[in-house]
Amino acid sequence: MAELNQAQLLELVNTKQIAAGNPRARALTQRIVTDLFKTIDEMDVTPDEFWKAMDWLSRLGQSGQVGLITAGLGFDRLIDIRMDEADQKAGRAAGTPRAIEGPLFVAGAPTTQWETRVDEGEPKGEIFVMEGQVLDTDGQPVANAMMDVWHANEVGGYSHFFPGMKPYELRRRIETDAQGHYRFRSFLPPGYGIPPNSPTSELFEALGRHGKRPAHIHFLVVAPGLRTLTTQINIPGDTYIDDDFAFATRDGLIVELEKNVAPTGYESLGITAPFTRSRFNFVMQKALNEDETSPAARMARVTAQA
């Protein structure tokens, strides 16, 4: 084989072809490889640095933490910002702001109508009820909307990812009633921190960054004819509220907490003493097509297409 300089090698890598392949995959791969060749040359990446990075990527994949890295390097929020910009241009920026799904959603949580206890058994932390309606952007209640709710436990762990938790612990689905109402009882979760001694923490330590998220609760709301809403609410007062490692907190999603709410009317949630409440309506846009109503979370969407 002929001797090659860097430019000749790059040209070969980017143009080799025996079949049409996937043009989009070809274009993206060419661009990324070109940018990386350039990075390696301009930053004078040593062989050991390169192979160390590849070892890290292999271990990252094995650890299942790719989604922590995409969030922590801003890609999840970038994708949201780009969708917001597209909405703005199309004159359809309305309703509850979207916020990143994150890597910790699990489909198939137990479903109940109108109200549920997201927590189980012994009360942990401050008793918290969140309630309101799902509405469309005309202010009409959305009956039979399906709302997935998920949040961390008292030490910041999510079930299915954090050892020792039960399946679907702190994960529930609520179907709204005829007036679009939902309500649930849980406790105010603490923030989240990336797992120590993991590929993710290795990178964050090398970057001199923390891996903390402020206290939050995730939602995925689906209803016929409406655009699937993926969002989170933030609990006010958290140290990291303006310093989220995933860049996901937004104005309009920091809820107000009402303390010492009288328990009358909340007996069905097992509440007999004053508690903390937040009222919040989820406002959904009209869908422009079927795809926008998809009930599938982000990974399920793409793996179904494969």
The DSSP secondary-structure symbol of 284 reads E
> Taking CB positions, which residue lies at the least distance from ligand MBD?
102
Cα distance between residue 24 and residue 45, in whole Å: 28
C-beta of 98 vs 213, nearer to ligand MBD: 213
In order of 78, 219, 244, the CA distances from 83 in angstroms are 9, 18, 20
Q: Residue 97 CB, nearest distance to Fe ion (Å)? A: 16
128, 182, 184, 192: which one binds ligand MBD (CB under 6 A) = 192
Distance from the Cα of residue 176 to its chain's centroid: 22
Q: For residue 129, give the 3-state DSSP assignment.
A: strand
Q: Residue 103 CB, nearest distance to ligand MBD (Å)? A: 6
Burial class, 228, CB count within 10 angstroms (exposed 0-12 / middle 13-18 / buried 19+): buried
> What, of ligand MBD, Fe ion, none, does residue 71 touch, CB below 5 to 8 Å by kind?
ligand MBD
CB under 5 A: which stretch of 101-109, 173-181, 196-204, 257-265 binds Fe ion? 101-109
Contact 184, 132 (CB under 8 A): no
Contact 286, 292 (CB under 8 A): no
Asked if 253 interacts with ligand MBD (CB under 6 A), we say no
Backbone angles phi, psi at 201, to 5 degrees: -65, -30
> Taking CB positions, which residue lies at the least distance from Fe ion?
102
Cα distance between residue 219 and residue 148, in whole Å: 5
The DSSP secondary-structure symbol of 116 reads E
* Closest alpha carbon to 83 in 220, 219, 299, 231: 231
* Residue 150 neighbours by CB under 8 Å, 6+ apart: 104, 105, 106, 109, 158, 170, 171, 172, 217, 218
C-beta of 102 vs 180, nearer to ligand MBD: 102
Asked if 248 interacts with ligand MBD (CB under 6 A), we say yes
Q: Residue 49 CB, nearest distance to ligand MBD (Å)? A: 27
Asked if 188 interacts with ligand MBD (CB under 6 A), we say no
Residues that contact ligand MBD, how many (by CB under 6 A) = 10
Asked if 72 interacts with Fe ion (CB under 5 A), we say no
> What, of ligand MBD, Fe ion, none, does residue 10 touch, CB below 5 to 8 Å by kind?
none
Dihedral angle sign, alpha carbons of residues 158, 296, 222, 73: positive
> What, of ligand MBD, Fe ion, none, does residue 246 touch, CB below 5 to 8 Å by kind?
ligand MBD
Cα distance between residue 103 and residue 108, in whole Å: 16
Q: Residue 101 CB, nearest distance to ligand MBD (Å)? A: 7
Q: Residue 119 CB, nearest distance to ligand MBD (Å)? A: 17
246, 269, 271, 284: which one binds ligand MBD (CB under 6 A) = 246
> What, of ligand MBD, Fe ion, none, does residue 100 touch, CB below 5 to 8 Å by kind?
ligand MBD
DSSP 284-301: EPBPSSGGGG----HHHH
**Rule CB under 6 A: which of 63-102 touch ligand MBD?**
68, 71, 100, 102
- The CA-based diameter of the chain, rounded to the nearest angstrom, is 83
Asked if 203 interacts with ligand MBD (CB under 6 A), we say no
102, 103, 157, 191: which one binds Fe ion (CB under 5 A) = 102
Q: Residue 158 CB, nearest distance to ligand MBD (Å)? A: 6
Binding site for ligand MBD (CB under 6 A): 68, 71, 100, 102-104, 192, 213, 246, 248
Binding site for Fe ion (CB under 5 A): 102
